[in-house]
Amino acid sequence: VRERTPAGRGPRTLGSIPEYRGLLSWISSVDHKQIGLMYLATGLVFFLAAATLAMMMRTQLIRPENHWLPPHTYNEIFTMHGTTMIFLVAMPILIGFAMYLVPLMIGARDMAFPRLNALGYWLFFFSGLMLFFSFFARSSPAAGWFAYAPLTEKTWSPSQGMDYWALALLANGAGTVMAGVNLIVTIVKLRVPGMSIRRAPLFIWMVLINGILIVLALPALNAALVMLLADRQLHALFFEPRGGASALLWQNYFWFFGHPEVYILVLPAFGIISEVIPVFARKIIYGYAFLAASTVAIGFLSFAVWIHHMFATGLGFPVYYVFAAASMLIAVPTGVKIFNWIATMWGGSLHFTTSMLFATAFLIQFTVGGLSGVAFAAVPFDWQVTDSYFVVAHLHYVLFGGTMFAIFAGFYYWFPKMTGRRLSERLGRLHFWLAVVGFNTTFFGMHILGLLGMPRRVFTYLPLPHYAELNLISTLGAYVLFISILIFFVNMVVSLRRGEPAGDNPWYAWTLEWATASPPAPDNFERVPPVRSRRPLWDLEHPDDPDWRRELEAAGRQT
């Protein structure tokens, strides 16, 4: 395959593309690659902010009855940490990967709606500024990221913090819906001829289902935010029990959005893992059809599980039976994926680049988070440990040990494509090992703290037996994790300037994004290679053993 990266004139980088020079070219851009990169960069800046907030929380909790942070400040910090990580870090970074990669992976020139794409990004950008402006206005939200009414009503939260929160998330949610619509239409309409949906890379499958989840789930949150604002500003009575409204109504709206949201944060991560593992195992993905179909199943089931966040609210048993059953069921398609990734590695030639290291740790850590999730589906166990530190452990195993580790794998994998330079593997390994040790030290002990009766969202705790040691260990682990994140940032900054030039296809990967220059020209492809199977570049390299023949044979065996 001919290298498209021109030799002899210095390495190709973002700076060597004339169209990308100058700040104005970025601010005014409707190019999906620039917008994707801006999503990623903005998400990373907020990640550093949210991680700093987490360090403040862990420092406050380093010993029992610590007086460093006043209670209200601590509550503002954990609210901002959760809200930021969900809405300004994990979701935008995953959307950023999708915006950057979807047109490249399907052989398209851009997204279906480039201007809508830009609007979505800028709504996200300004929603983040508005949320963080609340710190400078000295009134940050302090009701937790799920903001249960009536605590969020003006009577109990009289400062403007909740207004900043609701307005910021409303702008953010509108932007996210735009991204979702754009991704769906792009994937459905703009695939290169030859790429039937059954030949689309699994990342595309995951992003497509994700887009559908976004479009169906986010409006529930947006509607609830409008009602909350109406309550606070216009004295409406949606969530104010003293006016006869139901305190449970908010929870239904919120978790109707909130549980699909968990899958919105996890499916694209599954997509990243489904691209990274085959390439570094040098094998075709195992059980493509099952991986795709299980994603569809997760998509459906994710709308039938929200009540499991409300098992302790004393609703009737029939409701619990239905939602407990669905919550148990959703573990099955998720487990299928884990086994398929393991089977993809089986018999392969495993190359443990930093990206593959993160993907491998993802498999184990996500399994821990998934298993504790099944435990919560067993209603009586939920009755004991929900809202305790056990939940904090569970959700971080899913969203940090899972999603964030997949995001790291994605950065090490696609950074060369995006910038023309590789990330340093030496710093990458240091980042990885400190992250694994730091993450597990921080969060594993929280399972035990929860079982020992420590509630979540407390600014301090009694010096009961084991509490001090377990919290100290957790805080020290958090510092190690923070150092690993700083190393990741150093790696990005250093590699952006001095990283090893990547070439078109440093990993010898097989999907279309690697069939163009790194970074790609503004119009993406000179010529899209023919697509006759799931791995067009494999077919080009191995005309004697093409995938399309293998797929035909497999289909023949089944019929």
Partner 1 sequence: VNLPSVLSPESPQAQAVLSLFWLILAIAGFIFLTVTGLVITNIVRFRRREPIAGHPRQFVGDVRLEIIWTVVPLLIVTGLFLVAIHAMRTIQPPVQGRQPDLEVTAHQWWWEGHYPASGVVTANEFHLPIQQTLLLRFRSGDVIHDWWVPQLGRKIDIFPNRFTHLWMKIEKAGTYLGTCDEFCGSEHAWMRIRVVAESPADHEAWLARQKQPAAPPATAEAGQGAGIFLSHTCVSCHTVAGMSTGTVGPNLTHVGSRQTLAAGALENNARNAARWVQDAQSIKPDCHMPSMWLSDEEAQQVAAYLEGLK
User: Which 382-401 positions form the footprint of partner 1 (CB under 8 A)?
Assistant: 383-388
> Tokens representing 508?
């010898």
Q: Examine residue 195 and tell whether it contacts partner 1 (CB under 8 A).
A: no
DSSP 3-state of 137: coil
Q: Output the smallest distance, CB 377 to partner 1, in A.
A: 8
Question: Quick one: which of 35, 118, 142, 307 contacts partner 1 (CB under 8 A)?
Answer: 142
> Tokens representing 506?
């440093």
Q: Examine residue 156 and tell whether it contacts partner 1 (CB under 8 A).
A: yes
Q: Output the smallest distance, CB 383 to partner 1, in A.
A: 4
Contacting partner 1 within 319-348 (CB under 8 A)? 320-321, 324-325, 328-329, 331-332, 335-336, 338-340, 342-343, 345-348
Contacting partner 1 within 454-483 (CB under 8 A)? 455-462, 464-466
Q: Examine residue 158 and tell whether it contacts partner 1 (CB under 8 A).
A: no
The rounded distance, in Å, linking the Cα atoms of 187 and 112 is 9
Q: Output the smallest distance, CB 219 to partner 1, in A.
A: 25
Type of residue numbered 498: R
Q: Name which of 340 and 524 has its Cβ closer to partner 1.
A: 340
Tell which residue, 518, 546, 513, 514, has the closest CA to residue 532.
Answer: 546
Task: DSSP for 31-99, please give it.
Answer: -HHHHHHHHHHHHHHHHHHHHHHHHHHHHHTTSTT--SS-HHHHHHHHHHHHHIIIIIIIHHHHHHHHH
Dihedral of the CA atoms 469, 470, 472, 474 (nearest 10)?
160
Q: Output the smallest distance, CB 21 to partner 1, in A.
A: 34
Residue window 346-375: x/- pattern of binding to partner 1, with contact defined by CB under 8 A: xxxxxxx-------x--xx--xx--xx-xx
Contacting partner 1 within 298-317 (CB under 8 A)? 312-314, 317
Q: Examine residue 154 and tell whether it contacts partner 1 (CB under 8 A).
A: no
Q: Examine residue 290 and tell whether it contacts partner 1 (CB under 8 A).
A: yes
Q: Name which of 133 and 346 has its Cβ closer to partner 1.
A: 346
Q: Examine residue 137 and tell whether it contacts partner 1 (CB under 8 A).
A: no
Type of residue numbered 23: L
Q: Name which of 453 and 522 has its Cβ closer to partner 1.
A: 453
Q: Examine residue 545 and tell whether it contacts partner 1 (CB under 8 A).
A: yes
Number of chain residues interacting with partner 1 (CB under 8 A)? 95
Q: Name which of 26 and 148 has its Cβ closer to partner 1.
A: 148
Q: Name which of 10 and 463 has its Cβ closer to partner 1.
A: 463
Q: Name which of 374 and 483 has its Cβ closer to partner 1.
A: 374
> Tokens representing 511?
């999907």
Contacting partner 1 within 412-451 (CB under 8 A)? 451
Q: How many CB atoms lie within 10 A of CB 554?
A: 11
Task: DSSP for 430-485, please give it.
Answer: HHHHHHHHHHHHHHHHHHHHHHTTPBSS-S-----TTHHHHHHHHHHHHHHHHHHH
Contact 396, 498 (CB under 8 A): no
Type of residue numbered 420: G
Q: Examine residue 552 and tell whether it contacts partner 1 (CB under 8 A).
A: no
Type of residue numbered 451: L
Q: Output the smallest distance, CB 292 to partner 1, in A.
A: 12
Segment near partner 1 (CB under 8 A); pick from 208-216, 380-388, 425-433, 482-490 = 380-388
Q: Examine residue 144 and tell whether it contacts partner 1 (CB under 8 A).
A: yes
Type of residue numbered 535: R
Phi-psi region of 450 (alpha: psi -120 to 50; beta: other; left: phi over 0): alpha
Q: Examine residue 246 and tell whether it contacts partner 1 (CB under 8 A).
A: yes
Task: Burial-class residue 167 by CB neighbours within 10 Å (0-12, 13-18, 19+).
Answer: middle
